[in-house]
Amino acid sequence: MRELPLQRNDENCQSEEVEFTSIAQLRTTSRAVTTRFTVLSVEEPRVISSKNSRRQHLVTKAIVADESGRIDMILWNKDVDELRPEKTYILRGGYVSVYEECMQLNKGRSGSLKLIPKNLQGISRTPNMSKPFMGRQRRTKKRSRSRSGRTLGGIPGREKKGYCSSKGF
């Protein structure tokens, strides 16, 4: 469900409607995301070292949610202090990444976070889009397998190759 409730007024542009992507609509391939969310919790920042350059980075994880679901958001370096619990923000220029089979929302290099005074109503904690395999499409068809090791044409498969007929070892 896409919404068009907010209008942006800048000096350079006239009144422009912003199209929000709900958290439940995010996929592993989502790029240039503009979404609105409320922060549920923020972990303490921790220091990590880059594998390649051995640089030190600050990283933190925040759990964010809207009316359709929730997702983990990862913040790096100068962005770790931007989010506060129970506040509502707009993310522009975000993207979705996958780490250990879980989707994460990130602020892109040219992305921005903006605090808005209006709180979201009806925050949903389910579905959790950061669960493993949440962003993948489900397979619709499964291939049937023969227990005897024969192909669909009746020709022995494993026996023809010199193996035993069953895998009972």
- Please tell me the predicted confidence (pLDDT) of residue 13: 41
Question: For each of the chain's 169 residues, which pLDDT tens digit applies?
Answer: 444 454 444 444 433 577 899 998 998 888 999 999 999 999 999 999 988 898 999 999 999 999 999 999 999 998 899 999 999 999 999 999 998 888 999 998 899 999 999 888 888 888 888 887 665 655 566 555 555 555 555 556 656 666 655 555 4
CATH topology classification for 7-116: OB fold (Dihydrolipoamide Acetyltransferase, E2P) (2.40.50)
User: Which residues, in sequence order, are bridge partners of residue 57?
Assistant: 48
Give one word for 112, left, alpha or beta, with left for phi > 0 and alpha for psi -120 to 50. Answer: beta
pLDDT of residue 156: 60
- Specify the pLDDT at position 87: 93
The closest of 75, 136, 82 to 104, measured between CA atoms, is 75
Q: What are the extents of the domains in the chain? A: 7-116
Q: Please report the pLDDT score of residue 1 as a whole number.
A: 45
Q: Which three-class secondary structure state does DSSP give residue 12?
A: coil
Amino acid at 17: E
Overall pTM surpassing 0.75 (yes/no): no
Task: Classify burial at 70, counting beta carbons within 10 Å of its beta carbon; exposed 0-12, middle 13-18, buried 19 or more.
Answer: buried
- What's the longest Cα–Cα distance across the chain? 77
